């Protein structure tokens, strides 16, 4: 019955995780994807770095680009205080459908708005349609060739303020070289690299944190 890998991941979570327990959802996705089928969740090694950056930023308004199955949405939202707003943009409707069910199972759906569509269309709508003033934290994990243009679009739409944190996954594998060159050399960001490993593999990967100077 489960035709796609993403549906098989959802099925495994529904069967094995504890409803309303975000950590058990995270642990079971990691278990399935390390033992059965690899998938492009940020994973636990990079996930711990993500947790730490979120905790130190203590954000109130968060945007994620690239929801996939909702693994990083669950990771981030389990750390957030009540009343914060988390928007996540997913291009692929099948991914978005699985993500909503996983986020709901984790008990976090009322913190999360899954926005279906392209970041290029949705980012310019955040201020007027979604009543966003500025973003405290952005997790970038979608098409790697959209990292740089979408970061520039966030600037253009005045969604970043002094201290806004942009955290990007996969800056080594698959890599986002134009994004790295941009944030490190344009003079608008203070950048930190966090070396880690590709999810469920021994290959090197890294996260890049770029703090907007305002
Ligand atoms: N709102 C939006 N706008 C535009 N595109 C959008 C979108 N929302 C979604 N997408 C469409 C992106 C879907 C996937 C993005 N992520 C990736 O492509 C990705 C690939 C790997 C990988 C590594 C080694 C390998 F050998 C193979 C694959 C690892 C990762 O952690 C990745 O995040
Ligand atoms: Mg990724």
Taking only the tens place, the pLDDT of each residue in 146-160 is 999 999 999 999 999
Does residue 202 have an active-site annotation?
A: no
Residue nearest (by alpha carbon) to ligand 1 atom 9: 66
In angstroms, what is the span from residue 179 Cα to ligand 2's centroid? 14
Please list every protein residue whose CB sits less than 6 Å from any atom of ligand 1: 40, 65-66, 89-92, 118-119, 141-143, 146, 169-170, 173-174, 198-199
Round the average pLDDT of the chain to a whole number and report it. Answer: 98
Q: Pick from 132, 131, 5, 124: which is nearest to 62 by CA? A: 132
Joined together, the tokens standing for residue 66 give 């690239």
What ligand is nearest to the CA atom of residue 199? 1
Q: Residue 19 in 3-state DSSP?
A: coil
Q: Residue 159 in 3-state DSSP?
A: coil
Rg (CA), the chain: 16
What is the value of pTM for the model shown? 0.98
Q: Which residues pair with 140 in a beta bridge?
A: 65, 168
ipTM: 0.97
What confidence tier does 173 reach under pLDDT thresholds 50, 70, 90? very high
N residues, the chain: 214
Q: Pick from 176, 171, 212, 207: which is nearest to 192 by CA? A: 207
Residue nearest (by alpha carbon) to ligand 1 atom 21: 40
């Amino acid at each position: 019955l489960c035709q796609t890998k993403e549906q098989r991941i959802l099925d495994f979570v529904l069967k094995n995780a504890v409803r309303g327990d975000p950590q058990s959802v995270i642990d079971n996705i990691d278990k399935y994807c390390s033992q059965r089928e690899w998938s492009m969740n940020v994973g636990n090694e990079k996930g711990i770095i993500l947790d730490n950056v979120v905790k130190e930023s203590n954000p109130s308004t968060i945007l994620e680009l690239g929801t996939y199955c909702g693994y990083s949405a669950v990771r981030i939202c389990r750390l957030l205080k009540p009343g914060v707003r988390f928007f996540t943009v997913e291009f692929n409707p099948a991914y978005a459908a699985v993500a909503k069910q996983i986020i709901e199972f984790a008990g976090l759906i009322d913190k999360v708005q899954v926005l279906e569509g392209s970041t290029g269309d949705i980012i310019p709508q955040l201020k007027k349609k979604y009543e966003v003033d500025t973003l405290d934290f952005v997790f970038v994990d979608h098409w790697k060739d959209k990292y740089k243009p979408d970061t520039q679009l966030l600037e253009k739409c005045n969604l970043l303020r002094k201290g806004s944190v942009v955290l990007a996954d996969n800056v080594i594998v698959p890599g986002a070289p134009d994004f790295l060159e941009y944030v490190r050399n344009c003079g608008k960001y203070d950048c930190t690299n966090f070396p880690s490993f590709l999810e469920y593999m021994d290959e090197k990967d890294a996260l890049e944190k770029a703090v907007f100077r305002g």
